[in-house]
Amino acid sequence: MTAPNRPSTLDDTGPPESAAERRYAELAAASAAPLWRHYGNLFSPEPKSRAVPYLWRYAQLRPHAVHFSESLSLEDAERRVLMLVNPGLQDPPATLNSLFAGLQIIMPGESAQAHRHTANAFRFIIEGSGASTTVDGEPVPMRPGDLLLTPGWRWHDHTHNGDGPMIWLDGLDYPLVNALEAGFFEQYGERLQRHTRPAGSSTEQFIHGRLNPVWRGDRGHHSPVGNYPWTETERALAAIADDAEGSAFDGIALEYTNPWNGGPVMPTISCRVQRLRSGFSGRPHQHTANVIFHVVRGEGTTEVDGVRMDWADKDVFAVPAWSAYRHLNPSRSDAVLFAYSDEPVFRTLGLYRSRAGDD
Ligand code: 1HN
Cα 27 to middle of ligand 1, angstroms: 43
Residues 6+ apart with CB under 8 A from 74: 80, 106, 110, 111, 112, 113
- Asked whether 102 lines ligand 1 (CB < 6 A), one says yes
Cα 120 to middle of ligand 1, angstroms: 10
Cα 148 to middle of ligand 1, angstroms: 13
CATH assignment at residue 138? 2.60.120.10
Contact 276, 334 (CB under 8 A): yes
Give a yes or no: residue 205 inside a domain: yes
> Residue 176 class from Cβ within 10 Å (0-12 exposed, 13-18 middle, 19+ buried)?
buried
The residue whose CA has the least distance to atom 1 of ligand 1 is 79
Give a yes or no: residue 343 inside a domain: yes
| Spatial CA neighbour of 58 closest among 171, 167, 170, 172 | 167
Which of 98, 133, 172, 340 has the most ligand 1 atoms within 8 A of CB, as the residue to mutate?
A: 172
Q: How far apart (Å, rounded) are the C-alpha atoms in residues 148 and 135? A: 10
Strand 111-117's sheet: what is its strand order?
A: 138-141, 131-135, 156-160, 111-117, 185-187
Give a yes or no: residue 174 inside a domain: yes
> pTM of whole model > 0.85?
yes
- Asked whether 106 lines ligand 1 (CB < 6 A), one says no
Give a yes or no: residue 49 inside a domain: no
Give a yes or no: residue 20 inside a domain: no
pLDDT tens for the chain, 359 residues long, are: 444 454 445 555 555 579 999 999 999 999 999 999 999 889 999 999 999 999 999 999 999 999 999 999 999 999 999 999 999 999 999 999 999 999 999 999 999 999 999 999 999 999 999 999 999 999 999 999 999 999 999 999 999 999 999 999 999 999 999 999 999 999 999 999 999 999 999 999 998 778 999 998 888 789 999 999 999 999 999 999 989 999 999 999 999 999 999 999 999 999 999 999 999 999 999 999 999 999 999 999 999 999 999 999 999 999 999 999 999 999 999 999 999 999 999 999 999 999 998 65
Contact 329, 82 (CB under 8 A): no
Give a yes or no: residue 295 inside a domain: yes
User: Total structural domains in the chain?
Assistant: 1
- Asked whether 133 lines ligand 1 (CB < 6 A), one says no
Q: Which domain holds residue 166?
A: 54-356
Give a yes or no: residue 4 inside a domain: no
